[in-house]
Protein backbone atom coordinates (compact mmCIF):
# COMPACT_ATOMS: atom_id res chain seq x y z
CA UNK A 1 0.00 0.00 0.00
CA UNK A 2 1.31 3.42 -0.90
CA UNK A 3 1.70 6.31 1.52
CA UNK A 4 -0.69 9.21 1.80
CA UNK A 5 1.17 11.66 -0.44
CA UNK A 6 1.28 9.34 -3.40
CA UNK A 7 -2.45 8.71 -3.06
CA UNK A 8 -3.81 11.90 -4.53
CA UNK A 9 -2.19 11.61 -7.99
CA UNK A 10 -2.92 7.88 -7.96
CA UNK A 11 -6.55 8.60 -7.09
CA UNK A 12 -6.78 11.03 -9.99
CA UNK A 13 -5.17 8.47 -12.25
CA UNK A 14 -7.75 5.86 -11.23
CA UNK A 15 -10.70 8.19 -11.71
CA UNK A 16 -9.51 9.40 -15.12
CA UNK A 17 -8.85 5.94 -16.53
CA UNK A 18 -11.74 5.03 -18.80
CA UNK A 19 -11.43 1.28 -18.33
CA UNK A 20 -12.16 1.65 -14.60
CA UNK A 21 -15.58 3.03 -15.47
CA UNK A 22 -16.75 0.71 -18.22
CA UNK A 23 -17.54 -2.98 -18.34
CA UNK A 24 -19.13 -5.45 -15.98
CA UNK A 25 -17.04 -4.43 -12.96
CA UNK A 26 -16.77 -0.77 -13.93
CA UNK A 27 -17.80 2.16 -11.78
CA UNK A 28 -20.90 2.94 -13.89
CA UNK A 29 -22.16 -0.60 -13.43
CA UNK A 30 -21.56 -0.36 -9.66
CA UNK A 31 -23.34 2.99 -9.44
CA UNK A 32 -26.30 1.51 -11.34
CA UNK A 33 -26.41 -1.49 -8.98
CA UNK A 34 -26.23 0.82 -6.01
CA UNK A 35 -29.13 2.93 -7.29
CA UNK A 36 -31.28 -0.12 -8.11
CA UNK A 37 -30.70 -1.66 -4.67
CA UNK A 38 -31.36 1.66 -2.95
CA UNK A 39 -34.54 2.56 -4.79
CA UNK A 40 -36.06 -0.95 -4.63
CA UNK A 41 -35.60 -1.27 -0.90
CA UNK A 42 -36.59 2.30 -0.19
CA UNK A 43 -39.81 1.83 -2.15
CA UNK A 44 -40.58 -1.36 -0.23
CA UNK A 45 -39.75 0.24 3.13
CA UNK A 46 -41.98 3.25 2.42
CA UNK A 47 -44.83 1.00 1.29
CA UNK A 48 -44.59 -0.92 4.58
CA UNK A 49 -43.80 1.82 7.07
CA UNK A 50 -45.64 4.96 5.98
CA UNK A 51 -49.24 3.67 5.84
CA UNK A 52 -48.75 1.79 9.12
CA UNK A 53 -47.23 4.84 10.83
CA UNK A 54 -49.89 7.22 9.50
CA UNK A 55 -52.68 4.96 10.70
CA UNK A 56 -51.11 4.33 14.12
CA UNK A 57 -50.48 8.05 14.53
CA UNK A 58 -54.04 8.80 13.48
CA UNK A 59 -55.59 6.46 16.06
CA UNK A 60 -52.85 7.34 18.56
CA UNK A 61 -51.59 3.87 19.40
CA UNK A 62 -48.28 2.04 19.24
CA UNK A 63 -45.98 4.96 20.00
CA UNK A 64 -43.87 3.05 22.51
CA UNK A 65 -43.52 0.27 19.96
CA UNK A 66 -42.25 2.58 17.23
CA UNK A 67 -39.67 4.14 19.53
CA UNK A 68 -38.53 0.83 20.99
CA UNK A 69 -37.98 -0.59 17.51
CA UNK A 70 -35.64 2.31 16.78
CA UNK A 71 -33.76 1.94 20.04
CA UNK A 72 -33.23 -1.79 19.68
CA UNK A 73 -32.31 -1.38 16.04
CA UNK A 74 -29.39 0.84 16.94
CA UNK A 75 -27.71 -1.93 18.95
CA UNK A 76 -27.86 -4.46 16.12
CA UNK A 77 -24.83 -4.20 13.81
CA UNK A 78 -25.86 -3.90 10.18
CA UNK A 79 -22.84 -5.92 9.10
CA UNK A 80 -23.93 -8.81 11.32
CA UNK A 81 -27.47 -8.75 9.91
CA UNK A 82 -26.15 -8.74 6.34
CA UNK A 83 -23.87 -11.71 6.98
CA UNK A 84 -26.55 -13.62 8.91
CA UNK A 85 -29.05 -13.15 6.08
CA UNK A 86 -26.44 -14.16 3.51
CA UNK A 87 -25.65 -17.40 5.36
CA UNK A 88 -29.35 -18.17 5.84
CA UNK A 89 -31.29 -20.04 3.13
CA UNK A 90 -32.14 -16.61 1.67
CA UNK A 91 -28.50 -16.29 0.62
CA UNK A 92 -29.13 -18.42 -2.45
CA UNK A 93 -31.54 -15.86 -3.84
CA UNK A 94 -29.25 -13.25 -5.32
CA UNK A 95 -29.85 -9.74 -4.03
CA UNK A 96 -32.63 -10.62 -1.59
CA UNK A 97 -30.50 -10.79 1.59
CA UNK A 98 -29.23 -7.30 0.79
CA UNK A 99 -32.66 -5.91 -0.04
CA UNK A 100 -34.21 -7.37 3.12
CA UNK A 101 -31.41 -5.94 5.26
CA UNK A 102 -31.84 -2.55 3.60
CA UNK A 103 -35.59 -2.61 4.22
CA UNK A 104 -35.06 -3.62 7.87
CA UNK A 105 -32.82 -0.62 8.44
CA UNK A 106 -34.95 1.84 6.50
CA UNK A 107 -38.22 1.05 8.28
CA UNK A 108 -37.44 2.39 11.81
CA UNK A 109 -36.67 6.01 10.85
CA UNK A 110 -39.63 6.08 8.47
CA UNK A 111 -41.96 4.58 11.05
CA UNK A 112 -40.90 6.69 14.02
CA UNK A 113 -40.82 10.02 12.27
CA UNK A 114 -44.11 9.56 10.42
CA UNK A 115 -45.80 8.27 13.57
CA UNK A 116 -44.61 11.14 15.74
CA UNK A 117 -45.35 13.61 12.95
CA UNK A 118 -48.99 12.57 12.72
CA UNK A 119 -49.35 12.04 16.45
CA UNK A 120 -48.02 15.44 17.45
CA UNK A 121 -50.19 17.51 15.15
CA UNK A 122 -51.63 20.35 17.21
CA UNK A 123 -54.67 19.05 19.04
CA UNK A 124 -56.62 22.26 18.55
CA UNK A 125 -56.18 21.99 14.80
CA UNK A 126 -57.51 18.44 14.81
CA UNK A 127 -60.47 19.46 16.97
CA UNK A 128 -61.22 22.38 14.65
CA UNK A 129 -61.15 20.06 11.65
CA UNK A 130 -63.52 17.68 13.42
CA UNK A 131 -65.79 20.59 14.20
CA UNK A 132 -65.86 21.36 10.47
CA UNK A 133 -67.21 17.87 9.90
CA UNK A 134 -64.00 16.11 8.86
CA UNK A 135 -63.48 12.62 10.03
CA UNK A 136 -61.25 9.59 9.60
CA UNK A 137 -59.68 9.48 6.18
CA UNK A 138 -60.39 13.14 5.39
CA UNK A 139 -58.81 14.34 8.60
CA UNK A 140 -55.71 12.24 7.97
CA UNK A 141 -55.33 13.28 4.36
CA UNK A 142 -56.22 16.97 4.55
CA UNK A 143 -54.93 17.95 7.98
CA UNK A 144 -52.64 15.46 9.70
CA UNK A 145 -50.46 14.35 6.78
CA UNK A 146 -49.74 17.87 5.45
CA UNK A 147 -48.81 19.03 8.94
CA UNK A 148 -46.66 15.95 9.50
CA UNK A 149 -44.87 16.45 6.17
CA UNK A 150 -41.60 17.91 7.51
CA UNK A 151 -41.13 15.02 9.91
CA UNK A 152 -42.09 12.41 7.33
CA UNK A 153 -39.45 13.90 5.04
CA UNK A 154 -36.90 13.83 7.88
CA UNK A 155 -37.64 10.13 8.23
CA UNK A 156 -37.25 9.56 4.50
CA UNK A 157 -33.93 11.41 4.55
CA UNK A 158 -32.57 9.29 7.40
CA UNK A 159 -33.80 6.19 5.60
CA UNK A 160 -32.11 7.16 2.33
CA UNK A 161 -28.79 7.95 4.00
CA UNK A 162 -29.09 4.69 5.91
CA UNK A 163 -29.88 2.69 2.77
CA UNK A 164 -27.08 4.23 0.68
CA UNK A 165 -24.63 3.39 3.46
CA UNK A 166 -25.91 -0.15 3.98
CA UNK A 167 -25.84 -0.84 0.26
CA UNK A 168 -22.11 -0.05 0.42
CA UNK A 169 -21.66 -2.64 3.13
CA UNK A 170 -23.47 -5.25 1.07
CA UNK A 171 -20.22 -5.66 -0.87
CA UNK A 172 -18.58 -7.41 2.11
CA UNK A 173 -20.72 -10.55 1.80
CA UNK A 174 -20.36 -10.33 -1.99
CA UNK A 175 -23.37 -8.22 -2.94
CA UNK A 176 -23.29 -5.57 -5.65
CA UNK A 177 -23.04 -1.82 -5.37
CA UNK A 178 -20.29 0.73 -5.02
CA UNK A 179 -18.74 -0.98 -2.01
CA UNK A 180 -17.42 -3.60 -4.41
CA UNK A 181 -14.87 -1.11 -5.77
CA UNK A 182 -13.53 -0.67 -2.23
CA UNK A 183 -13.45 -4.38 -1.33
CA UNK A 184 -11.87 -5.28 -4.68
CA UNK A 185 -9.21 -2.64 -4.05
CA UNK A 186 -8.47 -4.13 -0.63
CA UNK A 187 -8.08 -7.55 -2.14
CA UNK A 188 -5.50 -6.36 -4.69
CA UNK A 189 -3.72 -3.93 -2.28
CA UNK A 190 -4.65 -1.09 -4.62
CA UNK A 191 -4.88 1.96 -2.33
CA UNK A 192 -5.84 4.26 -5.18
CA UNK A 193 -8.84 2.10 -6.03
CA UNK A 194 -9.90 1.83 -2.38
CA UNK A 195 -9.81 5.60 -2.00
CA UNK A 196 -11.49 6.18 -5.37
CA UNK A 197 -14.34 3.83 -4.39
CA UNK A 198 -14.67 5.56 -1.04
CA UNK A 199 -14.77 8.98 -2.72
CA UNK A 200 -17.53 7.80 -5.07
CA UNK A 201 -19.57 6.40 -2.16
CA UNK A 202 -19.14 9.58 -0.14
CA UNK A 203 -20.20 11.70 -3.10
CA UNK A 204 -23.25 9.53 -3.75
CA UNK A 205 -24.31 9.71 -0.08
CA UNK A 206 -23.91 13.49 0.01
CA UNK A 207 -25.72 13.88 -3.33
CA UNK A 208 -28.64 11.77 -2.06
CA UNK A 209 -28.86 13.94 1.05
CA UNK A 210 -28.73 17.10 -1.06
CA UNK A 211 -31.45 15.93 -3.47
CA UNK A 212 -33.75 15.09 -0.56
CA UNK A 213 -33.26 18.44 1.13
CA UNK A 214 -34.23 20.09 -2.16
CA UNK A 215 -37.22 17.74 -2.68
CA UNK A 216 -38.56 18.34 0.81
CA UNK A 217 -38.37 22.10 0.31
CA UNK A 218 -40.10 22.01 -3.07
CA UNK A 219 -42.93 19.74 -1.93
CA UNK A 220 -43.47 21.14 1.55
CA UNK A 221 -47.19 21.95 1.75
CA UNK A 222 -46.30 24.74 4.16
CA UNK A 223 -43.95 26.35 1.65
CA UNK A 224 -46.13 29.39 1.25
CA UNK A 225 -46.21 30.15 4.92
CA UNK A 226 -44.92 33.41 6.24
CA UNK A 227 -41.26 33.70 7.10
CA UNK A 228 -42.03 34.03 10.79
CA UNK A 229 -43.95 30.78 10.84
CA UNK A 230 -41.14 28.93 9.16
CA UNK A 231 -38.62 30.38 11.56
CA UNK A 232 -40.80 29.20 14.39
CA UNK A 233 -40.85 25.71 12.97
CA UNK A 234 -37.14 25.63 12.34
CA UNK A 235 -36.53 26.73 15.91
CA UNK A 236 -38.06 23.42 16.88
CA UNK A 237 -41.33 24.70 18.33
CA UNK A 238 -43.36 22.57 15.98
CA UNK A 239 -43.96 18.84 16.32
CA UNK A 240 -40.69 17.04 16.81
CA UNK A 241 -39.23 13.66 17.57
CA UNK A 242 -36.70 15.06 19.97
CA UNK A 243 -35.64 12.99 22.95
CA UNK A 244 -35.57 13.97 26.58
CA UNK A 245 -32.47 16.06 26.10
CA UNK A 246 -34.17 17.98 23.32
CA UNK A 247 -31.10 17.32 21.24
CA UNK A 248 -31.43 14.43 18.89
CA UNK A 249 -34.33 12.83 17.04
CA UNK A 250 -35.14 9.52 18.68
CA UNK A 251 -34.94 7.72 15.38
CA UNK A 252 -31.35 8.77 14.88
CA UNK A 253 -29.10 5.89 14.00
CA UNK A 254 -25.67 6.28 12.54
CA UNK A 255 -25.84 5.12 8.92
CA UNK A 256 -23.35 2.25 8.72
Q: Are 218 and 95 in contact (CB under 8 A)?
A: no
HSE-up of residue 93 (Cα within 13 Å, Cβ side): 9
Give Cα separations from 184 to 9, 90, 94, 136, 196 (angstroms). Answer: 20, 24, 19, 54, 11
Smaller CB distance to other proteins: residue 13 or 135?
13
Q: For the CB of residue 205, give the shortest distance to other proteins in the complex, in Å.
A: 5
Q: Which is nearer to other proteins, 220 or 252 (CB)?
A: 252
Residue 137 CB, shortest distance to other proteins, in Å, is 27
User: Shortest Cβ distance from residue 169 to other proteins (Å)?
Assistant: 6
Q: Which is nearer to other proteins, 150 or 185 (CB)?
A: 185
- Between CA 45 and CA 103 the distance in angstroms is 5
- Work out the angle between the directed axes of helices 145-169 and 78-87 (0-180°, nearest 10): 70
Nearer to other proteins, 43 or 236 (CB): 236
CB of 133 to other proteins, least distance (A): 32
Which residues would be at the binding site for other proteins (CB under 8 A)? 1-4, 7, 67, 74-81, 83-84, 86-87, 116, 161, 164-166, 168-169, 171-173, 179, 182-183, 185-186, 191, 194-195, 197-199, 201-202, 205-206, 209, 241-248, 250, 252-256
Is there a contact between 252 and 157 (Cβ–Cβ < 8 Å)?
Answer: no
Q: How far is the CB of 50 from other proteins (least distance, A)?
A: 21
Smallest separation (angstroms) from other proteins to the CB of 215: 16
Nearer to other proteins, 31 or 84 (CB): 84
CB atoms within 10 A of CB 214: 10
Which of 129/184 has CB closer to other proteins? Answer: 184
Amino acid sequence: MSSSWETIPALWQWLSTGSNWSGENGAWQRIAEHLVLTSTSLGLACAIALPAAAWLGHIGRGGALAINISNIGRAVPTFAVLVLLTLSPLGEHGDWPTIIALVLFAVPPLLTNAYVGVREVDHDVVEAARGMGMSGWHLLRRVELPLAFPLIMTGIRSAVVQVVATATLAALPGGGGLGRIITAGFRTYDTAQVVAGAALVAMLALAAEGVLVAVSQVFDPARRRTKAERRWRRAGQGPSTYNEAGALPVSERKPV
